[in-house]
Amino acid sequence: MKNEILRMEHITVAQNEMVLLNDFNLHIFQSEIIGLVCINTNGQDAILRLLSQNIPIQYGRVYFNEKLVNSYQHGPMTMNKVAIIEQKSRLIENLTVVDNVYVMRFGFKKYLINPRVLEEQLRRFTQDADIDLDGNRLVSSLTAYEKCVTELLRAIVMGAKLIAIREISNVLSTTDLLKFHSLLRYYRDQGFSFVYICSHHEEAFKVCDRVAIMRDGKILRVLDKDQFNNDNVAPYYIGEFAKVKREGLSVTSDKGILTFKDVCTEHMRSLTFTIVKGESTVLLDMDNAVVQDIVGLMNGQLHQHSGEIYLKNKPYTQKLAKHALKYGVAFIQENPILTMLFPDMSYLTNLCFLVDKKRNPVQLSKRVINSIVQEYEPIIGNDIYETDIMKLKLQSLYDLVYYRIHLCKPDIVFCIQPFANADMYLRRHIVELINQLKKQGATIVILATNIADSLAVADKLIVVSKGTFQAEYPRDEFYLFNSESIIL
Amino acid sequence: MLMKFKHIKYLSTRIFWLAGVLFAFILLLLIFASILAVQGYIDIVYVFIGYTLMGLLLFAYYKWIYEPYRENAKILRLFAAGYTIDALFDRHITLSPEMDEVIQKVQEIMETYEILNATKKQAHYLALQNQINPHFLYNTLEGIRGETLSAGLDNVAKMTEALATFFRYTISNVENLVTLEDELKNVNNYYIIQQYRFGERLSLSVEYDAQDEIEIMSCRVPKLILQPIVENAIYHGIEQKIGEGKVRIKIECTTKRLIITVSDNGVGMTEEKLQEINDKLRGMPLDYIKPENEKHGGIAITNVNSRIKLLFGEEYGICIYSTLNVGTDVELTLPKITERDQAFYEK
């Protein structure tokens, strides 16, 4: 007989006349990892809010441990024993792991704290779960994985009945994610329950016991473990990607546009690879170690200890890299809406931001701007005239980021984790935007720590592990990653 | 503004306006007193006490009047939209004694309707029983079975046996609750009959945790709640589908609930249709007491849902998940009723 930890029944939550959760039903048993695969992000925040606190709802009931804790009749505003782990850490950076796990939690009432006792208690936990984590380290010095583990330990120590994990694959590398999954399985077997919220069914299938597919705050289907296959998800999920047309190679050439030859940095160990002109290459960094170093080397913020980098068969030095765009190298950062846009500037000013820094720079005159408007208005539409870009939809903001790069006509574009934090509709849109760049003749390098949907636009996959080249897969071998990503 | 003025016909609006004016007046007085206190005409302590009292008054107004009123209004809105009945009769704070009496009267009327309706249904069953004369029917079917057996038509014999058992279960023992085991046997009989039509095209599987088999099978459920859903899965899902049709019954048992999911890989339904059905299922069984529904006669999903809700309360019932060209999952949530609890529910 199963113990029901949580049951959400016919939940309807609306805010400002917008329905966030629509007849939402979900039940979670003890010792279970249930996946919540969100086709779009609508309703995600509302679920997490509702899980942790019994806030007023329009309709429905919430049972926690088989007890009615919230209903449409009365929202008592009480807290539930739920912990949430997400990309943005909730830990206090200037405190140690032990302090974060034991001291900074509800119900801790001691006035005199003996750090050695706490360390010993933590040691027992880490030993049991086979976790390699020093309790005395400051949280600010931890890696993303270690932060996630600390948060998990805090939730376990706190006695959380249910732990919600949201979109952590964006911050964890493939190797770290696998380790974190095995930790979740360990604690699941200890009687803890988890809600694993993510956008990729492949990721959920690896760790979950059941998977619920959600769209627009509504559960579409719940799949049991024996139903975990792409065919069952295809109608909701992959079907959207089927509409995307794959862009072929823009230039059929075997010439390498970028070559790393025995490059060593703090994290790279004799990294060697070649990016072929016109190809889209996914550079999968299994340990999340070299992505930042590659970006640093390409934009001139970092200098290699040894080895050579060649761009279009010419040495690419740190001096040249400092003017990367001038040499046809462009970057699309992770979470570009936050990192690449200027909210105070108009759409057009944002769009033209790099034209005077590109290879053939042009001074921004009225005539040039008019010509840009004429060229991009048919593609972008009326959004191009928007003065307050914050009024625009997310997809339009992504258009702005990608067309800004498109306008510079770069030879090679580095996209850093382009699919992080994007729901399925946005991911599909990003695929189309990358294809636009490809069509223009740009070589695309996707720097990723997990495959996600990168293979949907890739021609080649290069796997880097522990700072060194591990393997290279051409497109016809992508079937090996069928369970990891959507492949067009 | 005009709209707001229109609302003045409601007592609630008048009370809120009056309370607003009253608080504004007190606030003005307090501001006046504050000015006097600054000028030294009165002691500042009195002004402080005044503000504290006003704060307490506002708090009491919010907690005692505004919050309960808001909850009451929400429940009445949900009742009007057909979402709930129970909540209407289950309010802690009511608007006035007269309103309380009115709601009690509504409850009585509804119960009478329900009883009348239940009686009518029972009468229908009895009429059916009398018309058919079950013993005559069973004996006839047994006769046919004997004849077919001696003629060497094993398949027809097996089908007749399944039909006889199915009728015996459906028509006889007009009791409320049966064991889940009996209910599953009836589904299996129904499946045997359908197999003669669909052949290899149709398959049925029942899944549950083997460790809990005895406990699950002895759980009490309302009679004939599964077969109509399986029938729906076959007729509306699988019949219209090309290729193999699968019906899966998954049973999960918690300390308090029984969750049964009937899934099919049939044609599914559109989002609009699904929304329409789920809206119907989510509300209280008002449809059940609507006389026009009797025209439809047959036991369908809404009927099963209504029976569950009437018997156990609106927190139980049916929820449907469906996607066009993928299939449909019907999830039934029931209280876990053991043999000991059966008498209480049947009463």
Q: Which pLDDT value is given to residue B289?
A: 45
Q: Which pLDDT value is given to residue B298?
A: 36
**Alpha-carbon gap: A74 to the closest alpha carbon of chain B (Å):** 7
Q: Which pLDDT value is given to residue A219?
A: 93
Confidence bin at B340 (pLDDT 50/70/90) = confident
Q: Which amino acid is at A87?
A: Q
**Alpha-carbon gap: A173 to the closest alpha carbon of chain B (Å):** 34
Q: Which pLDDT value is given to residue A363?
A: 78
> Looking at the domain assignment, is residue A402 inside a domain?
yes
The average pLDDT across B208-232 equals 90
Which pairs from B153-157 meet CB under 8 Å and 24+ separation?
B155/B196
Residues A228, A281 within the same domain = no
> Looking at the domain assignment, is residue A125 inside a domain?
yes
Q: Which of A94, A285, A82, A274 is nearest to A164 (CA)?
A: A82
Contact call for residues A446 and A454 (beta carbons, < 8 A): yes
Q: Which pLDDT value is given to residue A346?
A: 92
Interface test with B, best of A73, A211, A230, A238 (most B CBs within 10 A): A73
pLDDT at B296 over 50: no
Burial A345-377 (b: 16+ CB within 10 A, else e): eebbebbbbbbeebeeeeeeeeeeeeebeeebe
Q: Which of A356, A358, A334, A351 is nearest to A409 (CA)?
A: A358
Q: Is A4 on the interface with B (CB under 8 A)?
A: yes
Residues A309, A232 within the same domain = no
Q: Which amino acid is at A407?
A: L
Q: List chain B residues with CB under 8 Å of A9.
A: 315, 333
Q: Is B273 on the interface with A (CB under 8 A)?
A: no
Residues A235, A365 within the same domain = no
Q: Which pLDDT value is given to residue A397?
A: 94
Q: Is A236 on the interface with B (CB under 8 A)?
A: yes
**Alpha-carbon gap: A37 to the closest alpha carbon of chain B (Å):** 15
Q: List chain A residues with CB under 8 Å of B315.
A: 9, 61
Residues A349, A454 within the same domain = yes
Check B215 against A1: CB less than 8 A apart.
yes
Q: Which pLDDT value is given to residue A73?
A: 81
Q: Which pLDDT value is given to residue A298?
A: 93
Check A222 against B329: CB less than 8 A apart.
yes
Of B74, B325, B326, the CB nearest to A72: B74
> Looking at the domain assignment, is residue A247 inside a domain?
no
A268-283 per-position pLDDT tens digit: 999 999 999 888 999 9
Interface test with B, best of A24, A65, A72, A231 (most B CBs within 10 A): A72
CA atoms of B137 and A407, how far apart (whole Å): 83
What is the interface size between A and B, counted as CB pairs within 8 Å?
A: 65
**Alpha-carbon gap: A206 to the closest alpha carbon of chain B (Å):** 22
> Looking at the domain assignment, is residue A213 inside a domain?
yes
Residues A157, A11 within the same domain = yes
Q: Please name the residues between 38 and 57 in chain B that touch chain A, using a CB distance below 8 Å.
A: none
Check A1 against B254: CB less than 8 A apart.
yes
Residues A311, A206 within the same domain = no
Q: Which pLDDT value is given to residue B295?
A: 42
How many folded domains does chain A comprise?
2
Q: Is A2 on the interface with B (CB under 8 A)?
A: yes
Interface test with A, best of B326, B329, B336 (most A CBs within 10 A): B326
Check A73 against B75: CB less than 8 A apart.
yes
The average pLDDT across B21-39 equals 91
Q: List chain B residues with CB under 8 Å of A74.
A: 71
Close Cβ partners of A211 (under 8 Å, ≥ 6 residues apart): A34, A35, A36, A37, A201, A204, A205, A222, A223, A228
A259-268 per-position pLDDT tens digit: 999 999 999 9
Check A73 against B278: CB less than 8 A apart.
no
Of B87, B259, B331, the CB nearest to A73: B87
Confidence bin at B297 (pLDDT 50/70/90) = very low
Of A187, A209, A242, the last residue of a domain is: A242
- CATH of residue A104: 3.40.50.300
Q: Is B278 on the interface with A (CB under 8 A)?
A: yes
Q: How far is CA B247 from CA A78, B205, B324, B330, in A?
A: 41, 6, 16, 11
B135-187 per-position pLDDT tens digit: 667 777 777 877 788 778 788 888 888 887 877 777 766 566 889 999 999 89
> Looking at the domain assignment, is residue A416 inside a domain?
yes
Q: Is A31 on the interface with B (CB under 8 A)?
A: no
> Looking at the domain assignment, is residue A251 inside a domain?
no
Residues A389, A416 within the same domain = yes
Check A4 against B90: CB less than 8 A apart.
no
CA atoms of B91 and A395, how far apart (whole Å): 46
Q: Which pLDDT value is given to residue A328?
A: 92
Q: Is A1 on the interface with B (CB under 8 A)?
A: yes
Interface test with B, best of A5, A23, A214, A229 (most B CBs within 10 A): A23
pTM: 0.78
Q: List chain B residues with CB under 8 Å of A61.
A: 315
The distance of Cα A40 from the centroid of its chain, to the nearest Å, equals 14
Q: Is B253 on the interface with A (CB under 8 A)?
A: yes
CA atoms of A270 and B219, how far apart (whole Å): 66
pLDDT at B283 over 70: no
CA atoms of B57 and B61, how far apart (whole Å): 6
Q: Which pLDDT value is given to residue A53?
A: 92
Q: Which pLDDT value is given to residue A361?
A: 77
**Alpha-carbon gap: A67 to the closest alpha carbon of chain B (Å):** 10
The range of the structural domain enclosing residue A270 comes to 256-481
Residues A364, A454 within the same domain = yes
Which pairs from A316-322 meet CB under 8 Å and 24+ separation?
A316/A258, A321/A297
Each residue's pLDDT, cut to its tens digit, for chain A (488 residues) gives 889 999 999 999 988 878 899 889 999 999 999 999 998 888 999 999 999 999 989 889 999 998 999 998 888 888 999 999 998 888 999 999 999 998 877 777 777 778 888 888 889 889 888 888 888 899 999 999 999 999 999 999 988 989 999 999 888 888 889 899 999 999 999 999 999 999 888 889 989 999 999 998 999 999 999 888 877 887 886 555 655 555 555 544 557 899 999 999 999 999 999 999 888 999 988 888 899 899 999 999 999 999 999 999 899 999 999 999 999 999 999 889 988 999 999 999 999 988 887 777 777 788 888 999 999 999 999 999 999 998 899 899 999 999 999 999 999 999 998 988 788 788 888 988 999 999 999 999 999 887 767 777 888 999 998 889 999 998 888 877 765 655 54
Q: Which pLDDT value is given to residue A82?
A: 93
**Alpha-carbon gap: B147 to the closest alpha carbon of chain A (Å):** 45
Check B252 against A2: CB less than 8 A apart.
yes
Check B257 against A4: CB less than 8 A apart.
yes
Q: Which pLDDT value is given to residue B90?
A: 78
Of B71, B255, B329, the CB nearest to A3: B255
Check A73 against B282: CB less than 8 A apart.
no
The average pLDDT across B253-260 equals 92
Q: Which pLDDT value is given to residue B3?
A: 52
Confidence bin at B294 (pLDDT 50/70/90) = very low
Q: Which pLDDT value is given to residue B291?
A: 45
Q: List chain B residues with CB under 8 Å of A220.
A: 321, 323
> Looking at the domain assignment, is residue A43 inside a domain?
yes
Nearest 5°: the CA angle B210, B212, B218 is 115
Check B323 against A236: CB less than 8 A apart.
yes
Contact call for residues A5 and A29 (beta carbons, < 8 A): yes
User: Exposed, middle or buried: residue B3 (CB in 10 Å: 0-12, 13-18, 19+)?
Assistant: exposed
Which DSSP symbol is given to A200? -
Check B254 against A4: CB less than 8 A apart.
yes
Check B255 against A4: CB less than 8 A apart.
yes
> Looking at the domain assignment, is residue A249 inside a domain?
no
Residues A218, A270 within the same domain = no
Q: Is B90 on the interface with A (CB under 8 A)?
A: yes
Q: Which pLDDT value is given to residue A248?
A: 56
E-assigned strand segments in B169-316:
177-179, 202-207, 220-222, 245-253, 257-264
Of A242, A265, A298, the last residue of a domain is: A242
Of A1, A27, A73, the CB nearest to B255: A1
Residues A204, A281 within the same domain = no
Check A219 against B74: CB less than 8 A apart.
no
Residues A211, A318 within the same domain = no
Check B71 against A2: CB less than 8 A apart.
no
**Alpha-carbon gap: A232 to the closest alpha carbon of chain B (Å):** 8
Instruction: Indicate the average pLDDT of chain B.
Output: 81
Higher local confidence (pLDDT), A380 or B311: A380
pLDDT at B105 over 70: yes
Q: List chain A residues with CB under 8 Å of B321.
A: 219-222
Q: Which pLDDT value is given to residue B114?
A: 67
Q: Which of B178, B182, B150 is nearest to B166 (CA)?
A: B182
Of A191, A218, A242, the last residue of a domain is: A242
User: Exposed, middle or buried: residue A197 (CB in 10 Å: 0-12, 13-18, 19+)?
Assistant: buried
- Output the 3-class SS for B59-125: HHHHHHHHHHHHHHHHHHHHHHCCCCCHHHHCCCCCCCHHHHHHHHHHHHHHHHHHHHHHHHHHHHH
Residues A189, A294 within the same domain = no
CA atoms of A67 and A57, how far apart (whole Å): 17
Check A221 against B254: CB less than 8 A apart.
no
Q: Please name the residues between 306 and 345 in chain B that touch chain A, using a CB distance below 8 Å.
A: 315, 319, 321, 323-326, 329, 331, 333
